[in-house]
């Protein structure tokens, strides 16, 4: 894009996405903290000053990763939530999408999760707000299931949190009891049978 022609918000978001995915390999190889902004710019094929047009700091890049992933997951979940099928089936489909996303980025998640705890409080709160949107979508589905009579009456927010927390042992366990998909199926079976009326 020639200098002086401003990018639209959509073009800016697309370019940030491209830059991040061009530098993933560097983070995986060197580690996030060990990678300099100069190395990030080189990996993205940009001058350092151009990189700063998209990301002011490395923390901005880290925050972008989590916001982008949660946003993609929430958008996919919203589409599934609108389907005209029982709430328990929609919940299972959403968790399958969640599993696929975590598996596709497993190594990167493992590297960046610890780094996220070092982010400034404002950035951590921003990630938390995005997670809450996804959590509330699951909560809404559980409430629908209760109204449909598929689930018994439970604390829907607590149930949504518990469901999300089951993803860690499914994807990041050092003692798998099957493939991630098999473990998710078993987890959903245990979870849903506990909810069924």
Residue 11's pLDDT is what?
Answer: 84
Contact 190, 108 (CB under 8 A): no
Residue 5's pLDDT is what?
Answer: 63
Cβ count near 158 (within 10 Å):
11
151 forms beta bridges with 196
Based on the fold, state whether residues 94 and 48 are members of the same structural domain: no
* Residues of the domain holding 115: 58-195
- pTM, entire model: 0.83
Spatial separation of the C-alpha atoms in residues 65 and 59, rounded to whole Å: 10
Based on the fold, state whether residues 20 and 113 are members of the same structural domain: no
- List the pLDDT tens digit at each of the 197 positions of the chain: 445 567 788 888 888 889 988 888 888 888 888 889 999 999 999 999 999 999 999 889 888 888 888 999 999 999 999 999 999 999 999 999 999 999 988 888 887 887 888 888 898 898 899 999 999 999 999 999 999 999 999 999 999 999 999 998 899 888 999 999 999 999 999 998 866 55
Total structural domains within the chain: 2
Based on the fold, state whether residues 63 and 33 are members of the same structural domain: no
Structure tokens at 196: 């069924």
SS3 86: coil
Based on the fold, state whether residues 84 and 155 are members of the same structural domain: yes
Cβ count near 149 (within 10 Å):
10
């Amino acid at each position: 894009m020639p200098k002086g022609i401003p990018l639209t918000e959509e073009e800016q978001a697309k370019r940030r996405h491209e830059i991040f995915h061009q530098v993933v390999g560097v983070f995986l190889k060197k580690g996030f903290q060990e990678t300099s902004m100069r190395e990030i710019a080189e990996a993205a094929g940009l001058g350092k000053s151009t990189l700063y047009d998209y990301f002011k700091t490395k923390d901005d890049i880290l925050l972008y990763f989590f916001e982008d992933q949660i946003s993609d997951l929430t958008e996919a979940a919203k589409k599934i939530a609108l389907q005209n099928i029982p709430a328990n089936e929609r919940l299972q489909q959403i968790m399958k999408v969640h599993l696929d996303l975590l598996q596709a980025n497993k190594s990167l998640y493992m590297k960046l999760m610890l780094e996220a705890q070092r982010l400034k409080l404002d950035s951590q709160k921003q990630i938390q707000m995005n997670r809450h949107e996804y959590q509330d979508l699951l909560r809404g589905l559980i409430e629908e299931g209760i109204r449909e009579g598929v689930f018994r009456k439970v604390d829907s927010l607590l149930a949504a949190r518990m469901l999300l927390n089951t993803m860690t042992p499914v994807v990041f366990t050092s003692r798998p009891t099957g493939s991630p998909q098999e473990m998710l199926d078993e987890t959903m079976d245990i979870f849903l049978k506990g909810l069924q009326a």
